[in-house]
């Protein structure tokens, strides 16, 4: 009986992979589809005109968040504080919208003999999203929830389940709630103060306190943070370039499917 002949095994290499063998950078796309002009107008907001105040939109929200996000990465305690405020405002608006949605769904289901489909645009607008932080995307999600609510309100009004005054009130209240979230970021002022400088104390820290208040101790100590925060990195230059939201050309033309009294 011949003995078994075994071939030598290949040695296992533990050498790190070469750069050419590493996976490339991750890329992806995100789009926001809007059905109503009320929501579409809150993408870019409105400049102050004829004595009317400016309306802050998603673009301004994302741009200001870019500054706050990078400042938080540079260990600015005020930026960390504002991320908590943004998170709380986003959560509060989402709960508000969900409550209004539930009430509208109850109206639509009131008569079991009627099967009512929520109205949608024949030509919805698609907005490409390219942000540098997750809270800007959460702001876009809020805008999408507002758009859905407007569609539901216009539907219940069309079938006579809600009068014009009541429907306009719902749209206005939800619009104000959304804009209040977009406004939170504009109360932040960049100071360039890090935790180290705050603890040490200097003229910049005093100016930051005067502009934005005293940061709570639990935030300075790092005990209280927003659920989503950037890694703490220190860069020699102030701020890196980030992606911005660009509006698709189709958004320049109002959607005729939703003409009428539709102030946000």
Q: What's the rounded Cα separation, in Å, for the pair 262 and 175?
A: 11
13 falls within a domain: no
Q: What's the rounded Cα separation, in Å, for the pair 63 and 260?
A: 31
> Is 49 strand, coil or helix?
strand
149 falls within a domain: yes
Q: Which residues lie below 8 Å from residue 90, measured CB to CB, with a gap of 6+? A: 135, 138, 139, 142, 181
Residue 95 scores a pLDDT above 50: yes
Residue numbers of the domain that contains 58? 31-256
23 falls within a domain: no
Say whether pTM exceeds 0.85.
no
CA distances from 182 to 42, 157, 177, 194, 237 (A): 10, 28, 9, 25, 27
**What is the per-residue pLDDT across 14-57, written as a single tens digit (0 to 9) for each?**
666 676 778 887 777 899 999 999 999 999 998 888 888 888 89
- Residue with token string 């489909």: 117
2 falls within a domain: no
Which of 6-10, 33-37, 230-234 has the least mean pLDDT? 6-10
8 falls within a domain: no
263 falls within a domain: no
Residue 251 scores a pLDDT above 50: no
- According to DSSP H, which parts of the chain are helical? 37-44, 58-73, 77-108, 134-158, 164-184, 195-200, 203-212, 217-220
Which of 44-53, 145-154, 172-181 has the least mean pLDDT? 44-53
The pLDDT assigned to 86 comes to 97
3 falls within a domain: no
The pLDDT assigned to 8 comes to 54
**What is the per-residue pLDDT across 107-132, written as a single tens digit (0 to 9) for each?**
999 888 889 999 999 999 999 999 98
If one counts the domains in the chain, the total is: 1
Residue 21, CB-side half-sphere exposure with 13 Å CA sphere: 4
């Amino acid at each position: 009986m011949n003995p078994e002949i075994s071939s030598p095994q290949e040695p296992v290499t533990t050498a790190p992979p070469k750069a050419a063998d590493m996976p490339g950078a991750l890329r992806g796309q995100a789009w926001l589809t809007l059905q109503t002009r009320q929501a579409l107008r809150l993408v870019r907001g409105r400049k102050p005109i004829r004595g009317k105040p400016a309306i802050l939109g998603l673009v301004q929200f994302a741009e200001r968040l870019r500054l706050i996000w990078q400042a938080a990465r540079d260990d600015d305690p005020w930026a960390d504080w504002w991320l908590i405020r943004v998170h709380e405002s986003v959560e509060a608006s989402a709960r508000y919208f969900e409550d209004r949605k539930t009430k509208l769904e109850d109206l639509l289901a009131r008569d079991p003999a009627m099967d009512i489909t929520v109205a949608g645009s024949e030509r919805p607008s698609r907005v490409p999203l390219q942000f540098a932080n997750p809270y800007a995307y959460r702001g876009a999600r809020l805008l999408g929830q507002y758009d859905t609510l407007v569609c539901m309100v216009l539907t219940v009004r069309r079938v006579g389940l809600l009068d014009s005054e009541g429907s306009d009130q719902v749209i206005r209240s939800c619009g104000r709630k959304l804009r209040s979230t977009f406004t939170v970021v504009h109360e932040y002022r960049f100071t360039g103060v890090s935790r180290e400088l705050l603890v040490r104390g200097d003229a910049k820290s005093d100016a930051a306190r005067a502009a934005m208040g005293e940061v709570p101790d639990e935030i300075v100590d790092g005990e209280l943070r927003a659920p989503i925060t950037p890694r703490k990195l220190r860069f020699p230059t102030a701020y890196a370039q980030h992606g911005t939201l660009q509006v698709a050309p189709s958004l320049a033309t109002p959607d005729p499917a939703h003409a009428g009294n539709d102030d946000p």
